[in-house]
Amino acid sequence: MKLGTAYRGLCGIVLLLALGGVARGQDSERPNIVFLFSDDHAIKSISAYGGPLAKIAPTPNIDRLAQEGAVFLNSFCANSICGPSRATILTGKHSHKNGFQRNTGKGLDQSQWTVAKALQASGYSTAVIGKWHLKTTPVGFDHWEVFPGQGNYYNPVFLQPDGSRQRFEGYATDLTTDKTLAWLDQRDTSKPFFLMCQHKAPHRTFAPALRHLGAFDEVTIPEPDSLFDNYANRSATLAKNEMELDRHFDWAYDAKVRKDERGDVKLPKPDRYGTPEYNRMTPAQKKAWDAHFAPRNKAFLADFAAGKLTHRDIVRWKYRRYMRNYLGTVKAVDESVGRVLQYLDDHGLTENTIVIYSSDQGFYLGEHGWYDKRWMFEESFRMPFLCRWPGVVQPGSRPVELIQNIDYAPTFLEMAGSRAPAEVQGRSLVPVMKQEAVDWRKSLYYAYYEFGEHAVPQHFGVRTQRHKLIRFPKSDEWNLFDLELDPNEMKSVHDDLGYREVLAAMTAEYTRLRVKFDAPPE
């Protein structure tokens, strides 16, 4: 009897060891997932998407993902603002369902389901490094080092899992990449990994790495046709905005113009720079910064004081200064992507690692005279999404399906061999990536809930491949755009009799989606 019991016990141990070996074998086959994420990256500044900036500001490393994988041409966010977009990506739910509708508030409730917790529970090593911006401590990650709030470009602080705050000398994009590669070096190699490398750049205040100051000074940066938009033929709320390069891009030279001294244009006050990035620099960093900006500022201010510049000259100068700094921050992000891809190559991880590049939303690069996001207009509604998945995603493919950041979580889950729970509102993109015949969505729902920051009102809407309908509840307005005939969204056709049927269909679809997603009252 004792021998039989011992024999059965030994058999059990052998079986467990065998099963453990199978599990380890399965883990070795499950793909790693690297999610490379930036903040406010407009698709027009990614050369894989084409456009007038592609030749003067190429992004060769991000483009490598497009060449070796897919660039999604119709990728959109559900709520164009930093924290809510990140919450949507983790939960797969619209803002009103995950509870993170705006940047203000208590932060993300992480007692709810998130893709990080699900992947961790399924045996993945998980890590998030860089910008977090969800106020509560990361949950579902074996390792994390994140910026407090927005973080800083120069010599940033990283929050540590033990609750401490450690400041590191250097540039935020470089440091985030350094920490990402360090984690890859020390991770548990018996498990597949899910890694979120999340950059602050190219978020305001658009402070480039010192090595990239002046990188775009010698090129002609084309102006968008709508740089001097007068906001006619659309909602009256557009003209009340406070995100114009003209009236609102922080001057930081004359306190009578702007008191907050955020220094978007990098002009000093008469006695000092009033910018957060400059005040954090070491003496050596300040010396390099001054060597670049001081002579350029001096020349501009001399012309300004002499009355040589018209109003439009000043707006154009702001636009060029903004774009040179913005594109400079993008340059470091692209270098970071290259470093991560090189690491995967050097360590034999490329073939079994999915790499995705995205950003929390798009951004205005002077279109409509703007520099921020929030509005449902294309420049901030669109977000980049590029995916390399060796053996699955066809290299060089350019899917046109309408996708949204509610889709990321279920996609990560299916990539890892799991399924998302019923509460998730997005759909896995895996069938689209595999180019399978699938009945895909024909419309997207959008909701912006902030209480008027930059004087952008709450608004909601629906977009199809050709049309977009936006609802402005406070002013009781509707705007309808024909994106095929009016891609720059310069005139609403909601009152055009020729669009009566389109307006009726779009209004019905708007109502249907609000019911489907259980949206709150306007």
Provide the sign of the torsion angle of the four alpha carbons 372, 376, 379, 380, taken in this order: positive
Amino acid symbol at 40: D
399 pLDDT tier (thresholds 50, 70, 90) = very high
Q: What CATH number has the domain bearing residue 116?
A: 3.40.720.10
pLDDT higher than 80, residue 7: no
Residue 267 in any domain: the answer is yes
User: What pLDDT score was predicted for residue 100?
Assistant: 97
Per DSSP, which regions of 458-514 are E strands?
A: 459-463, 467-472, 477-482
pLDDT higher than 90, residue 456: yes
Residue 447 in any domain: the answer is no
427 and 478 assigned to the same domain? no
Residue 502 in any domain: the answer is yes
User: What pLDDT score was predicted for residue 401?
Assistant: 98
- Residue whose C-alpha is closest to residue 85's, from 364, 490, 443, 450: 450
Residue 15 in any domain: the answer is no
503 pLDDT tier (thresholds 50, 70, 90) = very high
Contacts 24+ apart (CB under 8 A), 485-490: 487/378, 488/225, 488/226, 488/367, 489/234, 489/377, 489/378, 490/226, 490/229, 490/233, 490/234
Our count of domains for the chain comes to 3
User: What pLDDT score was predicted for residue 25?
Assistant: 36
175 and 220 assigned to the same domain? no
Residue pLDDT, tens place only, 69-78: 999 999 999 9
Mean of pLDDT over the chain: 92
Peptide linkage before 205 cis (omega within 30 of 0): yes
User: What pLDDT score was predicted for residue 250?
Assistant: 73
278 and 216 assigned to the same domain? yes
222 pLDDT tier (thresholds 50, 70, 90) = very high
106 pLDDT tier (thresholds 50, 70, 90) = confident
Residue pLDDT, tens place only, 114-133: 999 999 999 999 999 999 99
pLDDT higher than 80, residue 272: no
43 and 187 assigned to the same domain? yes
77 and 122 assigned to the same domain? yes
135 and 158 assigned to the same domain? yes
> Is the Cβ–Cβ distance between 48 and 385 less than 8 Å?
no
Last-in-domain residue among 372, 404, 437: 437
User: What pLDDT score was predicted for residue 71?
Assistant: 98
Residue pLDDT, tens place only, 401-433: 999 999 999 999 999 999 999 999 999 999 999
421 and 488 assigned to the same domain? no
> Is the Cβ–Cβ distance between 88 and 445 less than 8 Å?
no
- Residue whose C-alpha is closest to residue 516's, from 427, 383, 395: 427
253 and 387 assigned to the same domain? no
Last-in-domain residue among 402, 437, 472: 437
How many other CB atoms sit within 10 Å of the CB of residue 180? 26
SS3 labels along 102-145: CCCCCCCCCCCCCHHHHHHHCCCEEEEEECCCCCCCCCCCCEEE
pLDDT higher than 50, residue 435: yes
Distance CA 467, CA 193 (A): 40
Residue pLDDT, tens place only, 36-84: 999 999 999 999 999 999 999 999 999 999 999 999 999 999 999 999 9
User: What pLDDT score was predicted for residue 27?
Assistant: 61
Last-in-domain residue among 437, 469, 484: 437
Residue 92 in any domain: the answer is yes
259 and 288 assigned to the same domain? yes
Distance CA 26, CA 32 (A): 12
146 and 35 assigned to the same domain? yes
Amino acid symbol at 325: N
User: What pLDDT score was predicted for residue 279?
Assistant: 83
Amino acid symbol at 328: G
Strands 444-448 and 403-404 turn out to be: unpaired
Q: Please report, rounded to a whole number, the percentage of residues in the chain having pLDDT higher than 70.
A: 90
How many other CB atoms sit within 10 Å of the CB of residue 204? 20
User: What pLDDT score was predicted for residue 22?
Assistant: 32
Residue 469 in any domain: the answer is yes
Residue 98 in any domain: the answer is yes
Residue where the block lists tokens 């490398």: 197
Distance CA 56, CA 45 (A): 10
169 and 141 assigned to the same domain? yes
User: What pLDDT score was predicted for residue 19?
Assistant: 33
User: What pLDDT score was predicted for residue 6?
Assistant: 40
Q: Please report, rounded to a whole number, the percentage of residues in the chain having pLDDT higher than 90.
A: 86
pLDDT higher than 70, residue 10: no
Bridge partners, residue 358, by sequence: 37, 385
Can you tell me the mean pLDDT for 495-501?
98
User: What pLDDT score was predicted for residue 2?
Assistant: 37
191 and 291 assigned to the same domain? no
> Is the Cβ–Cβ distance between 364 and 226 less than 8 Å?
no
SS3 labels along 350-383: HHHEEEEEEECCCCCCCHHHECCCCCCCHHHHEC
Residue 331 in any domain: the answer is no
273 pLDDT tier (thresholds 50, 70, 90) = low
User: What pLDDT score was predicted for residue 28?
Assistant: 61
> Is the Cβ–Cβ distance between 517 and 277 less than 8 Å?
no
Could you tell me the residue range of the domain that residue 499 belongs to? 458-516
12 pLDDT tier (thresholds 50, 70, 90) = very low
> Is the Cβ–Cβ distance between 490 and 229 less than 8 Å?
yes
Q: What CATH number has the domain bearing residue 475?
A: 3.30.1120.10
Residue pLDDT, tens place only, 328-367: 999 999 999 999 999 999 999 999 999 999 999 999 999 9
274 pLDDT tier (thresholds 50, 70, 90) = low
Distances (CA, A) of 97 to 4, 429, 437, 442: 56, 21, 30, 22
